[in-house]
Amino acid sequence: MLYRTGLFIALLACSSFALLNAGIVNSVDATAKNADKIQQPVPNTIHGKVTDIIEAAGYTYAEVDTGKEKVWAAASKTSLALGDMIAFTTEMPMKNFHSNSMNRDFPVIYFVSRFITGEEDLADTKAAKVSAHGKIKPAPAASAVVDIDKVEGGNTIAEVYADKQKLDGKAIRVRGQVTKYTPNIMSRNWLHIRDSSTQNDLTITTDSVAAVDTVVVIEGKLALDRDFGHGYVYPLIVEGASVTKE
């Protein structure tokens, strides 16, 4: 009798544990399925209302009220008005930045390629486009620039990436179209160029000035895995380059 009672209690305990375990699994599974339905906001983007505008040295500086704080960003000259709703990425933050042209200090300022001002663009930055499986769709790849061929005696951008280990520390020459230019960051001007060989761009530091969309030939020393601090980390960069407009 005692043996049967013990066996019954053991079977009851096993049954209860199985039911409890199934409940936990089902609960976790349901939570995971619900999480897939949630649209996550696009990371690294700031939205807000323009509360101050400064035009200086061909750039537009905008103070933006996010509702929680006010932050500054700068982009190439842009037509903005007080009260406009804009957005921008946070890819290039600078702390304790001093503007020589304005003789003004900014605790933090973001240098961006452009301000996002269109209604459709703003809507796209506020929520990610989610597929049926709840995954964020990747941004479309950048296009290679047409009719930008290799400079004589130089390299294409694709060749620089392919042979980067061999070219590390050596002077290289590359022809490309300027897709981004940011002056006077850490005592350097920064530009990005692209050619017809690849969708990748090439980052360059220089003392020269370059206008966006112009075709240039750059010549400078290739460096790998450069960390300038303040979030400026580059697996591949051309430093101290001369820039010649074609």
Tens-place pLDDT, residues 198-208: 888 899 999 99
One-letter amino acid identity for 154?
G
What pairs with residue 99 in β-bridges?
104
According to the per-residue pLDDT averaged within each range, which of 16-20, 126-130, 196-200, 241-245 is highest?
Answer: 241-245
What would the mean pLDDT of 178-197 be, rounded to a whole number? Answer: 89
Name the CA dihedral angle for 116, 136, 230, 181, rounded to a multiple of 10 degrees: -40
Give residue 213's pLDDT: 92
Q: What phi, psi does 119 have (nearest 5°)?
A: -60, -40
What pairs with residue 181 in β-bridges?
191
Taking a C-beta distance cutoff of 8 angstroms, is the pair 212, 76 a contact?
Answer: yes
Residue 189, both tokens: 């001007």
What would the mean pLDDT of 105-132 be, rounded to a whole number? Answer: 64
CA dihedral over 82, 85, 89, 93, signed as positive or negative: positive
Per-residue pLDDT band for 118 (boundaries 50, 70, 90) equals: low
The per-residue pLDDT of the chain, averaged, comes to: 75
One-letter amino acid identity for 229?
G
Q: Could you report the per-residue pLDDT of 74-96, keeping only the tens digit for each?
A: 888 888 889 888 888 876 788 88
Question: Does the model's pTM come out above 0.85?
Answer: no
Whether 158 has a pLDDT exceeding 90, the answer reads yes
Domains present along the chain, CATH in parentheses: 45-126 (2.40.50.140), 157-245 (2.40.50.140)
Give residue 140's pLDDT: 40
